[in-house]
Structure 1
Amino acid sequence: MVEEIRRRLAEALLPVELEVSDEGHKHAGHANAGKGHYHVRIVSAAFGGMLPLKRHRMVYAALDGLMDNGIHALSIDAHVPSR
């Protein structure tokens, strides 16, 4: 799943930095423990001039179909490149 998330984000948002990590181990004892908890840190010029909510929506759009099929929870850090 990490590779699929990475592939979709790379294709849709052309990031200059992209980190995708599986954080399922942090949710032991929770409902859906160990299943589908991910963290994304992405830096892309595509986010220029956008508020964080819009950036997150772009990430979710790129992952369309995975949010209900493999991803249970997703935390996102979305930034524009620093100059």
Structure 2
Amino acid sequence: MLVQAQENQQQKQLTRWITTFPQVGELYCRDREVHYLQLLERSEIIAELNNIGFQVQALESYGKLTFSVGNIGIFAQK
């Protein structure tokens, strides 16, 4: 798998180009995907979820797994 990523800080967007090589029978083929992500601040996510009626808790980890820099977990319930 090959992954290339580019962040546009002004538009708060991340674009990922992913190339995989799945095996089909005895051969390998190339498959490409492009993922467009909108980057949001923790406060934006929490505010939006609160606005639609969720009780929200931001998580620093999930069990023993701590999130890498720039990633968060959200626990939300109605």
Return the TM-score normalized by structure 2.
0.32
Return the TM-score normalized by structure 1.
0.31
